[in-house]
């Protein structure tokens, strides 16, 4: 076969898929506790939704979106992120009017045409959360804490919360102007920085090539209007009060244009250069900009692959309490009907069904495999071993005539007999 998974995508097989599901399960449990409800969003939307939300001059919109036309010539895009879709859904279904509180979360894959490397894919998974209609600093602090809590529940310890404020429409223009002045006096800017200087001077702050040169670069904090400054101060107070350590990072900016006031990233020292496990912030203008009523909002998204990588590197994965694995073997083809029937009964049984008692399997989660009548008993037992079976139930001709089957403990090799029908 000449097909391979497309560049930047990856298959998650068995235990890897399980880890993704574990992360999603832990996230769901935390988010439910904080009163979020799930929203399942489409994987593609009108391309214009993303262009308008994320910003025309961002890398995502300029270079990374998977845009295509459907058969009726509609311009669509695979979602590069979930916030724009969540906002579209809130407006479309008038959720701020119909729900008493709009706190939504989603889990699923996102698509960006980026240069693949460890921790960076073209299709990747996110768990995202969006809180609408609460302008208070407590909502920002809650958002940071929820994200951090999920990472803690994943067992991660080498994380750092980076926090900054980007101000609002009133105070950011002066900061942008000051940045432009500052950068105009800098020589030898890289191509990306020169290109961004006109439309997006904030992005120069996190340039990986030039960033270290920018000593004495203006700080947004010095330009915040009294309201944004007070807001940022309170967010910090609330985080301190809740015992969450953070770093105020004046160089922190975001690759999406919709943010206002608080922005944050949670980085890990356990992964390589793609160290942002989570990112988010406040976006008080976006709902209105997309045609809804003025509604403040704040949220975050976790990058699932990076979190799984960090958890593996920190040996933080707790293997789930496995089910009891049962293998059904037959000594010859003559008993295949009986063994197959028994296996179906066991697989469809409930925890307290009669078939389980006697096998010592009542009240246990089980995973059942077999029988494979065409294989010899020896190779069935080998397969049972390779599958990690705890018990093998052997249908032997002599024993079955007497109404019993053999139960073999795969660890101790000890065997006993159990009656399955009257003699
Ligand atoms: P973002 O920073 O673009 O924000 O992505 C959030 C997280 O997704 C990143 O911190 C990273 O862990 C993960 N991520 C991003 N790109 C990739 C990639 N190519 N491969 C693997 N992981 C990746 C957003 O998406 C915003 N929607 C977050 C938000 C929600 N802000 C407010 N609400």
CATH number at residue 392: 3.40.50.800
Report the share of the chain in percent with pLDDT over 70.
Answer: 100
The residue segments making up the domain with residue 408 are 324-419
What does the alpha-carbon distance between residue 391 and residue 409 come to, in Å, rounded to a whole number?
5
pLDDT, position 179? 93
- 111 shares a domain with 257: yes
The model's pTM is 0.92
pLDDT, position 192? 85
- 162 shares a domain with 133: yes
- 280 shares a domain with 140: yes
pLDDT, position 195? 85
C-alpha count within 13 angstroms, C-beta hemisphere, residue 83: 29
Ligand 1, from 84, 119, 279, 309: best to mutate by most atoms within 8 Å of Cβ? Answer: 279
- 45 shares a domain with 121: yes
Domain boundary among 313, 333, 356: 313
Instruction: Assess if residue 4 is contained within a domain.
Output: no
With a cut of 90, say whether residue 320 has pLDDT above it: no
- 277 shares a domain with 391: no
- Could you read off the pLDDT of 22-74 as tens digits, one per residue? 999 999 999 999 999 999 999 999 999 999 999 998 999 999 999 999 999 99
For range 139-165, the mean pLDDT = 97
Respond yes or no on whether the N-terminal peptide bond of residue 371 is cis (omega within 30° of 0). yes
Query: What stretch of H or E contains 405?
Result: strand 404-409
Which atom of ligand 1 is the closest one to the Cα of 300? Answer: 30
- Could you read off the pLDDT of 104-132 as tens digits, one per residue? 999 999 999 999 999 999 999 999 999 99
For range 184-210, the mean pLDDT = 86
Tokens read off for 408: 């073999």
Question: CB of 275 closer than 6 A to ligand 1?
Answer: no
pLDDT, position 405? 95
pLDDT, position 389? 96
pLDDT, position 200? 86
pLDDT, position 414? 94
Question: CB of 264 closer than 6 A to ligand 1?
Answer: no
Does residue 328 contact residue 339 with C-beta atoms inside 8 Å?
yes
If you average pLDDT over every residue of the chain, what do you get? 94
- 307 shares a domain with 236: yes
Instruction: Assess if residue 148 is contained within a domain.
Output: yes
How far is the centre of ligand 1, averaged over its atoms, from the C-alpha of 121 (Å)? 11
pLDDT, position 328? 97
pLDDT, position 188? 84
pLDDT, position 161? 98
Question: CB of 112 closer than 6 A to ligand 1?
Answer: yes
How far is the centre of ligand 1, averaged over its atoms, from the C-alpha of 128 (Å)? 9
How far is the centre of ligand 1, averaged over its atoms, from the C-alpha of 53 (Å)? 15
Report the share of the chain in percent with pLDDT over 90.
Answer: 84
Question: CB of 87 closer than 6 A to ligand 1?
Answer: no
What does the alpha-carbon distance between residue 393 and residue 416 come to, in Å, rounded to a whole number?
10
Which atom of ligand 1 is the closest one to the Cα of 299? Answer: 33
Question: CB of 80 closer than 6 A to ligand 1?
Answer: no
- 36 shares a domain with 121: yes
Which atom of ligand 1 is the closest one to the Cα of 282? Answer: 32
For range 320-327, the mean pLDDT = 88
Burial class (CB in 10 A: 0-12, 13-18, 19+), 349: middle
Instruction: Assess if residue 244 is contained within a domain.
Output: yes
- Could you read off the pLDDT of 335-377 as tens digits, one per residue? 999 999 999 999 999 888 888 988 888 888 999 999 998 999 9
How far is the centre of ligand 1, averaged over its atoms, from the C-alpha of 279 (Å)? 6
List of residues 6+ apart from 148 with CB closer than 8 A: 159, 161, 244, 266
User: The domain spanning residue 273 has which CATH number?
Assistant: 3.30.930.10
Instruction: Assess if residue 217 is contained within a domain.
Output: no
How far is the centre of ligand 1, averaged over its atoms, from the C-alpha of 84 (Å)? 13
Buried b (16+ CB within 10 A) or exposed e, 161-198: bbbbbbbbeebbebbbebbeeebeeeeebeeebeebbe
Instruction: Assess if residue 21 is contained within a domain.
Output: yes
- 367 shares a domain with 295: no
How far is the centre of ligand 1, averaged over its atoms, from the C-alpha of 269 (Å)? 18
With a cut of 90, say whether residue 198 has pLDDT above it: no
pLDDT, position 207? 87
pLDDT, position 133? 97
Ligand 1, from 49, 284, 301, 302: best to mutate by most atoms within 8 Å of Cβ? Answer: 301
- Could you read off the pLDDT of 80-111 as tens digits, one per residue? 999 999 999 999 999 999 998 999 999 999 99
Which atom of ligand 1 is the closest one to the Cα of 119? Answer: 21
How many structural domains does the chain have?
Answer: 2
Which atom of ligand 1 is the closest one to the Cα of 114? Answer: 19
Residue nearest to atom 31 of ligand 1 (CA): 280
- 273 shares a domain with 411: no
What does the alpha-carbon distance between residue 89 and residue 102 come to, in Å, rounded to a whole number?
11
- 90 shares a domain with 25: yes
Ligand 1, from 81, 281, 295: best to mutate by most atoms within 8 Å of Cβ? Answer: 81
- Could you read off the pLDDT of 240-265 as tens digits, one per residue? 999 999 999 999 999 999 999 999 99
- 392 shares a domain with 248: no
């Amino acid at each position: 076969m000449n097909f391979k998974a497309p560049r930047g995508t990856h298959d998650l097989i068995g235990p890897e898929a399980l880890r993704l599901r574990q992360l999603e399960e832990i996230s769901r449990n935390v988010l439910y506790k904080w009163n979020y409800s799930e929203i399942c969003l489409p994987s593609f939307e009108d391309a214009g939704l993303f262009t308008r939300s994320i910003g025309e001059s961002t890398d995502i919109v300029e270079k990374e979106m998977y845009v295509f036309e459907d058969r009726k010539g509609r311009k669509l895009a695979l979602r590069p992120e979930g916030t724009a879709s969540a906002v579209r859904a809130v407006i479309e279904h008038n959720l701020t009017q119909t729900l008493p509180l709009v706190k939504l979360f989603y889990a699923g894959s996102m698509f960006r045409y980026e240069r693949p490397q460890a921790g960076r894919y073209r299709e990747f998974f996110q768990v995202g959360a969006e809180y609408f209609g609460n302008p208070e600093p407590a909502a920002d602090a809650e958002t940071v804490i929820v994200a951090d809590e999920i990472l803690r529940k994943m067992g991660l310890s080498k994380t750092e919360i980076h926090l900054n404020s980007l101000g609002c429409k009133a105070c950011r223009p002066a900061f942008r102007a000051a940045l432009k002045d500052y950068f105009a006096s800098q020589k030898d800017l890289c191509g990306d920085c020169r290109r961004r200087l006109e439309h997006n001077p904030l992005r120069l702050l996190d340039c990986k090539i030039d960033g270290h040169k920018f000593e004495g670069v203006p700080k947004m904090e010095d330009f915040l209007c009294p309201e944004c400054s007070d807001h940022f101060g309170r967010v910090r107070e609330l985080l301190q009060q809740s015992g969450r350590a953070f770093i105020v990072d004046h160089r922190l900016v975001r690759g999406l244009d919709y943010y206002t006031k608080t922005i944050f990233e949670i980085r890990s020292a356990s992964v390589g250069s793609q160290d942002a496990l989570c990112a988010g912030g406040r976006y008080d203008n976006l709902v209105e900009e997309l045609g809804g009523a003025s509604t403040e909002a704040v949220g975050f998204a976790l990058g699932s692959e990076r979190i799984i990588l960090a958890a593996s590197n920190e040996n933080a994965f707790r293997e789930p309490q496995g089910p009891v694995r049962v293998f059904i073997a037959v000594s010859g083809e003559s008993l295949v009907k009986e063994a197959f029937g028994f296996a179906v009964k066991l697989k469809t049984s409930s925890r307290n069904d009669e078939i389980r008692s006697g096998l010592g399997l009542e009240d246990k989660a089980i995973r059942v495999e077999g029988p494979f009548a065409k294989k010899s008993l020896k190779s069935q037992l080998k397969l049972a071993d390779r599958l990690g079976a705890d018990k093998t139930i052997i249908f032997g001709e002599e024993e079955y005539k007497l109404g019993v089957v053999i139960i073999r403990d795969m660890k101790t090799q000890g065997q006993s007999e159990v009656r399955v029908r009257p003699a």
